[in-house]
Amino acid sequence: MPEVFSPQILKLLVDSFVQTLYMVGIAGVIGTLIGLPLGVFLATSQRGELFAAPAVNAVLGLIVNAARSTPFIILVVAIIPLTRLIAGTSIGTSAAIVPLTIAAAPFIARVIEAAIRGVDQGLIEAARSMGASPLQIVQKVLLPEALPAITLALTLTVVSLIGYSAMVGAVGGGGLGDLGIRFGYQRFMPDVMLAVVLVLIVLVQGVQSLGDSLARRFDKRSRH
């Protein structure tokens, strides 16, 4: 009988799956809480825009770019002191959420920015002509109109986070990727590796399909 179906290995697979969901889920939610407002601000704060603050926009843009250009595995070890400060420890699944979140937030900010910039400028003008405040324009026009694009953007983020989460094994983060490396690679158990890859494929496929179908449901532009 292949080792993959032994109760111990199965339990490891299930535990790792749960760890991955936990890390990606929490990092995704906190990353969105930071990245969404940041992305909206980046999309509305250039010269002549709703919250025009070109200098702040430039500085934030620089920070976001810096965070985005740091390879994830380097980010994980580089921010260990910060991780310890926030999570109380620098190793383990909960600790791994810190670098995942810090990688996710600027990524989300940029994809949200692109989604918001995709909204027709004419709608902003129409809302202004109705007497809407900048905050009302964000709340009633930009976010609702960008919802299909935002949904796709967040789907992309989650898929990327699943990929990133494979690297947090470096700090004892656990998860499916870590299982694949430790058992499949280091202990020469190719069937465990295969099982991990298959679970990841199904997971990513499921996330993408869910995102696509939600985005389609939100999109009212192509109804006939």
**Residue 42: is it exposed, middle or buried by C-beta count within 10 angstroms (0-12/13-18/19+)?**
buried
Residue 144 beta carbon to other proteins: minimum distance, rounded to whole angstroms? 5
Complex with other proteins: residue 1 or 55, whichever CB lies closer: 55
Cα 218 from chain centroid? Answer: 20
CA pair distance 207, 163, nearest whole angstrom:
13
**What's the length of the chain?**
224
Residue 223 binds other proteins, judged by CB under 8 A:
yes
Integer Cα distance of 163 and 34 in angstroms: 20
The answer to whether residues 100 and 161 touch, using CB atoms and an 8 Å cutoff, is yes
- 8 lines the binding site for other proteins (CB under 8 A): no
Of 120 and 212, which has the nearer Cβ to other proteins? 120
Based on the shown chain and the rule CB under 8 A, indicate whether residue 84 belongs to the binding site for other proteins: no
**Rounded to the nearest whole angstrom, what is the least distance from the CB of residue 191 to other proteins in the complex?**
48
* 182 is a site residue for other proteins (CB under 8 A): no
Site string for other proteins, 108-147 (x = CB under 8 A): ------------x-xx-xxxxxxxxx--x---xx--xx-x
Using alpha carbons only, how large is the chain's radius of gyration in Å? 20
Enumerate binding residues for other proteins (CB under 8 A).
120, 122-123, 125-133, 136, 140-141, 144-145, 147-148, 218-224
